[in-house]
Structure 1
């Protein structure tokens, strides 16, 4: 039987003698309360000699060539008590597993060295093994001898805290703490090993030198959080500048000279008050549907041109007001060349030969040929398209006001506004300059 089952005064006396021997500095003081020279313990197993005492109960297992190097063989106090066969078996299994793992690590390092593979991840730390290699706890003493009071020699050593069987109470109390410490250390080691292995794998797999995707390493960083409050830079867009009235009036528009549109008209909505105090003429503007021209620009040009002091409104002689409903004095109509010819023919006028405009006196319409409005005339040229459009309005409205054609009489002078300037500026050998106004010198 093992020493844990001894009873009676003999056990107490022997334990007391061991304690006294330790206090006196005898060799037995360096052991675990047993006579190292004694016979084999129950079970036939003799203790390992000259093994250093290790904290935690059971010594660390070191094997030659293992993952933790070689070292002195630990002292073995025999198997656990027969009262704990399950703990004894678990202890033997852990020893077998430790030896097998050590052999595998040794083989893996040797193979990695031969094949040039990456070294293995470091094994568990020493504290982890010490915590889990501790001998299983023995059952509580069941006899008075096991619970005998402390002897005088032990009192002189200041209450060493040793149990009756020679164990260390502090080691028993600290076993759980070291176990938790070992578990935590092993967990940290494992996490670090996984991180290092992943880093090595990523570095080895990115041998092409390509940079990682943008924003991966910055995700959740301080810079990324600061960027939340920053305004997102907008893509550069070229500024679209609005053209002025003069620029629009000087811009030609595409339109074919033989176009005949729908023949249906639509009034330009809105009201433009007469600005002067003279006789008021109320007019409406119709634009043929399907022309694709800017009807708003045309309406603005008519109102500004007729009420200009250089026009028929000179010195307050008259004023013009545009309406979109009610009864107008006349209707200024922007139409295609084909439709213009139809309406001018109603008044006995042929506009198809030179593709010109007309005042259809038999109707209420003053016809403005859309081709001339869009393209101008060679007599003015492309650089004077604004002036040509102003002349076209003043000339046709002048017919509605009762004025007939007039020819230039002075070479080099400005042509009269009622001259057919769309056709020519040279009549009977007298060549004049283009002119859009009724009173150009004003």
Structure 2
């Protein structure tokens, strides 16, 4: 019995392997095309949605705009704190000396009680000239806080200053431009035009605070004492309203009396005083 001859073994590199290699190459090529299309098109459209939306890195199409560039800030960045009252009162503000408002006034809305235990109660209203680019709310707050301070005319419970917004006010503290201040001060025979100062227009119900001085201050105090200067303006003019007159510097190096014309000078007959905002600086 004869034994059949064994079947021939396939040669290396035959047709089977060639077909398998071709299929693998085709699959690889298709995957490369798909992935390349996604990269060129900006990534997974199911995440980004329509063109222009941001992805999870805070970038729009093409990756050119960040959160900080479009005004929203970096994720988790703290918001900038609003300036404090003291910071606002210390800031020098831009205002031209001859800036002219509209000549009419708006009463600052709201009412505030005066200092507790005050003796004589004085009711005042705060008006601000229309068109004047100064914060009416800050001015009203400054007036009330200053007048009811223990270092001011409310000292030792002698007075209390209550803010109202109606016609029942005993007087009106008015923030106005220089030209309008001049008009109202002239009603009481006072010339404020030369040095752009403030006044108590005694023949009217208005105390006029010159907006230029409120914004820019005076050389006697300097920019670094704006807070104190604004307190002095309020205390000085209200001092006139309650019956006090001007006084000078009595001793070199002493604190200036609040009723001294400190916007103009802190020197009298060779004696130079230190700028001072308060009638009772020790409280």
Normalising TM by the smaller chain, what interval?
A: 0.7 to 0.9
Deviations 1:71-99 (A, max 9, x none): xxxxxxxxxxxxxxxxxxxxxxxxxxxxx
**Structure 1 residues 367 and 204: alpha-carbon distance in aligned structure 2, compared to 1, 3 A threshold:** closer
Structure 1 residue runs of 4 or more that deviate by more than 3 Å after TM superposition: 119-123, 201-207, 210-219, 233-238
3-state SS in 2 of match to 1:342: helix
Contact 2:125 2:164 in 1 (8 A): yes
Corresponding residue of 2:84: 244
The one of 88, 97, 102 equivalent to 1:257 is 97
| 2:40 counterpart of 1:199 | no
3-state SS in 2 of match to 1:367: strand
After TM superposition, give the deviation of residue 292 of structure 1 in Å: 1.6
Contact 2:115 2:154 in 1 (8 A): no
TM-score (norm 1): 0.51
Corresponding residue of 2:156: 315
Corresponding residue of 2:136: 295
Partners of 1:217 and 1:392 in 2: CA distance: 65
Partners of 1:385 and 1:217 in 2: CA distance: 58
Partners of 2:144 and 2:41 in 1: CA distance: 63
Partners of 1:258 and 1:238 in 2: CA distance: 41
Partners of 2:132 and 2:45 in 1: CA distance: 60
Larger helix fraction of residues? 1
Corresponding residue of 2:279: 438
Contact 2:254 2:274 in 1 (8 A): yes
The one of 188, 210, 223 equivalent to 1:369 is 210
TM-score (norm 2): 0.78
The one of 237, 262, 267 equivalent to 2:107 is 267
Matches within 5 A, 1:388-407: 388-407=229-248
**Structure 1 residues 245 and 122: alpha-carbon distance in aligned structure 2, compared to 1, 3 A threshold:** closer
Partners of 1:204 and 1:368 in 2: CA distance: 76
After TM superposition, give the deviation of residue 199 of structure 1 in Å: 3.0
- Aligned length in residues: 245
**Structure 1 residues 418 and 206: alpha-carbon distance in aligned structure 2, compared to 1, 3 A threshold:** same
Matches within 5 A, 1:204-219: 215-216=43-44
Partners of 2:261 and 2:109 in 1: CA distance: 31
Q: Which has the higher contact order (CA 8 A, sep 6+)?
A: 2
* Structure 2 unaligned residues grouped into runs of 5+: 1-13, 48-55, 57-72
After TM superposition, give the deviation of residue 68 of structure 1 in Å: 6.7
**Structure 1 residues 330 and 216: alpha-carbon distance in aligned structure 2, compared to 1, 3 A threshold:** closer
Matches within 5 A, 1:3-152: none
